[in-house]
Amino acid sequence: MKDRQVHLARQLGLFDSTMLVMGGIIGSGIFMNPSVVAQQVHTPALIIGAWLVGAAVGLLGAFIWAELGATLPAVGGQYAYLREAFHPIFGFLYGWVLLLVIQTGGMAAVAIIFARYFRELMSINAPDWMIAIVALGSLTIVNCLGVKLGARTQSVLMLTKIVAIAALIVCGFFARAANSQVSAAHNSFSDFGAALVPVLFSYGGWQTTNFVAGEIREPRRNLPRALLLGVAGVALLYTLVNVVCLRVLGVDALRSTSTPASAIMRIAFGPAGGNFIAAAIAISALGFLAQSILTAPRVYFAMASDGLFFRSVARLSPHTQVPIVAIVLQSIWTIVIALSGRYEQILNYVVSMDFIFFGLTAATLFVFHKREDCGGSRLGCTDDSQAGRLPPQKTPFHPWTTIMFIAICWAVVANTIWRYPANTLIGMSILLAGVPVYFLWSRRSA
């Protein structure tokens, strides 16, 4: 197979890669989602249990992506796995919806969240869209100056997020505990399933680090380690945040507030505590944007390198060795969505498409294993210079754990179709619209 990432500079080590994993997961949701979960299940055991199940699913996904990353440490991550295991059209369709909806829609929404909190904190009399554009533009310039600078910026923001969350946890353990009385309520299996939805979304994002596998030093070793360390670290932080939410607020108060983190800090420090959490949310949002601008453009770069997108998107800067056109393209489309005010509607389309490709990507593991069993490399039953250099990271208890992960992903898709059929139909229409586009690009490439 042709080496598609030969010109990319491998400048990211284990620390930067781990920060990318954690930065892709931790957004502003952890400061608010504990109350969403408490509205579905009404006992401390079930609330903590939902977050522990989410952590287990996240770690299971990390093991699968770690093996995939060790098997094929190529730029583009999921795009490359789908392309090599099934057919280039599957990789293209993933990149298609990633650019049009999944990544840019989420980035537009987060950019507006950052703008709102930043404007209130700094008392700036400027519209949200203007602040959002400045933030996106600044981070775009930083990432165009080199992957190392972009990663360092993201790492600093990630460490700041960790400090903010750790401060919330410490204050929660020292604050006055709430009355431990729990209101009597019946919880069904479907209630617990509904509680898992925001939890699973909160744990999403670890897979984006695989997009930059072509720029990680010793990716067969560092990428799996970063995935497992990053997801485990986030699981610990998330669990402790929910423990202190229950300790300080109690179940009933946690259910009734939409800003549990702010409530805890106000109890501990008064109005200053609320400002602290507002700043933490703004930093978390900015960190998510920095991580997204660094990682996702590598997918569009890989598509263009394969001749399935505009050739200019595959162009690398001769000075910084980063795909500047791909980075700028994503940021421009994000700004367009933010200005349109349609990002909240687009987010409704994201869920089904994102989890469809989660399940499909996990299924590629079966294809690679089968190819290996037939006597060749995992990339095909022929000798391949990219395969077999090091023993790949193994997914524990495969195939059962992989089947479980796929079933969970597609259960989320089924639940989304059942609850939001109109939004799902629009999302599927966007996905299917990419099929003729693929054949157009493939014909041009030929």
Task: Give the residue from 357, 368, 248 showing the smallest Cα distance to 299.
Answer: 357
Tokens representing residue 371 in the block = 């190819």
pLDDT at position 417: 83
Cα 290 to Cα 153: distance, rounded to the nearest angstrom:
7
pLDDT of 345 higher than 90:
no
Q: What's the chain's average pLDDT? A: 87
pLDDT digits (tens, 9 = 90+) for 349-363: 787 888 899 999 999
pLDDT digits (tens, 9 = 90+) for 40-82: 888 899 999 999 999 999 999 999 999 999 889 888 999 999 9
pLDDT at position 240: 95
Domains of the chain: 14-386+396-445 (1.20.1740.10)
Tokens representing residue 115 in the block = 């703008």
pLDDT digits (tens, 9 = 90+) for 83-127: 999 999 999 999 999 999 889 988 998 999 899 899 888 888 889
pTM of the model: 0.88
Query: How large a percentage of the chain has pLDDT more than 70?
Result: 91
Lowest mean pLDDT among 38-42, 211-215, 422-426, 439-443: 422-426
User: Cα dist. 43→37, 182, 252 in Å?
Assistant: 11, 7, 9
Backbone angles phi, psi at 208, to 5 degrees: -70, -20
